[in-house]
Chain A
Amino acid sequence: MADPIVAPQTPAPVVLTVDAGDDVVTQAGWNVREQVLYPYINGSVGQLMRYQGQDAVRANAGAAAANPAVKMLMGVSHGTSGTYVGYGPDPLYAVGNYNPAEVAGKVVHWTACETAAQLGPDMIANGAAAFLGYTADILFPPELAFMLFDCDAEIDIALLGGATAGEAYQRSVSRYNDFIAECDNQGKGYLAQWLAANRDLLVNLGDAGAQIR
């Protein structure tokens, strides 16, 4: 049962999540988000629209994202520099193959390989307020799965709490740094290095002052 929520005094944003979960790694990411993030997106904090598993396809998510009430797109899945991939693999968002209304004025956060390289700048060019994602492949020892996806989810937690995209990025980096310090403290310097490598792939594009509420 989730703890009581301390909600900011502003209207609850609609948040669209698209999680493929079609292999062990994306499933791990989805599981962590179900644990640390999704239970808290309710009531005055936000309204969560979910397209997950076999529903994580363009036919579903594209139409939903175009709704102006949706303030944020997020999810954990596969990616290439120019594509956020859904279940299947369905090309959910590919450079040149989505309606700009789906991203205009919204904050986008994909937990996926490489999407910050081309898709992120493309979404910003098409009107997205901010884009948070990774510039290269996300690669890590399995024992880091919880830590990595938890650090990444800090972005969404911060945004839902009223932080700007820039502040949310810093919150995530700070959480990475806290886990890195804890790994070092336990003599797990190698794991700390893998966390640092992934932390350094995370970027924030667009308006650092963008908010979803």
Chain B
Amino acid sequence: MDLTAKRPLPALPKGNRTKAERLQHQASLPVTFHNGGRRFAAVHEHLDANVGTIALADLQEGHWQRITRRRIELQQNFSLYHMNFGLIAKSRVIDAVRRGTELGHSVIYVEKAHIERLLNSLPRR
């Protein structure tokens, strides 16, 4: 191996879903709320100018907690590796988000950044 050269990337694990299925699943997850803040709104609803949804900038901490918990609940398999605490199961992650722990805040941070990035990559209608 040439230590000074760029290494080729290894192939990523394929997973059970196709790319189209993965994108479809992501699009089905909530990204905000309908006006009033009771019902979740998915990507296609938020991007539709005819559907009243709450702008991401107007979401409060409690909104983000609910969105994050719901998005994780809807994942078939979900867990996290923590370098200090080992494997953290889905139910514990959801609980951490609900209780607003440090772990919960880290998870919300990633979900929020992911949603913002996802929406910025899509055209508005």
A residues with CB within 8 A of B: 2-3, 5-8, 23-26, 28-29, 40, 45, 78-80, 111-113, 136-147, 150, 154, 157-158, 160-163, 174-175, 178-179, 182-183, 186-190, 193-194, 196-197
Contacts and interface: CB of A to CB of B under 8 A. Distances in A.
Contact of B117 (A23, A160, A193): A193
Contacts of A140: 80-81
Contacts of A45: 3
Given A141-B79, A197-B113, A23 B3 contact: no
Q: Give the interface SS of chain B, mostly helix, strand, loop or mixed.
A: mixed
Contacts of A157: 1, 3, 7
Nearest to A26: B83
Instruction: List 6 tightest A-B contacts by C-beta distance, closest first.
Output: A161-B3, A187-B19, A187-B22, A193-B114, A138-B83, A6-B2
Interface string B1-28: 1111111011011010001101100100
B3 A5 contact: yes
A142 B4 contact: no
Contacts of B102: 137
A45 B10 CA distance: 23
B110 A197 contact: yes
Nearest to B102: A137
Given A24-B87, A45-B3, A113-B83, A189 B103 contact: no
A78 B114 CA distance: 27
A200 B31 CA distance: 23
28 contacts: A6-B3, A24-B86, A80-B84, A111-B83, A112-B83, A113-B84, A137-B84, A137-B102, A139-B106, A141-B79, A141-B80, A142-B81, A143-B15, A144-B81, A154-B7, A157-B7, A161-B2, A161-B4, A162-B3, A162-B4, A175-B7, A179-B9, A182-B12, A187-B20, A187-B22, A187-B23, A193-B117, A197-B109
Nearest to B20: A187
A158 B9 CA distance: 16
A25 B23 contact: no
Given A24-B87, A112-B83, A194-B110, A5 B1 contact: yes
B55 interface: no
A25 B4 contact: no
Given A26-B83, A157-B7, A162-B3, 14 more contacts: A5-B3, A28-B81, A29-B83, A78-B84, A79-B84, A137-B103, A137-B106, A139-B83, A158-B3, A160-B3, A186-B12, A193-B110, A193-B114, A197-B106
B76 to A, nearest CB: 13
Given A5-B3, A193-B117, A178 B82 contact: no
A45 to B, nearest CB: 7
Nearest to B116: A193
Given A188-B22, A197-B113, A145 B81 contact: yes
Contact of A189 (B4, B9, B26, B84): B26
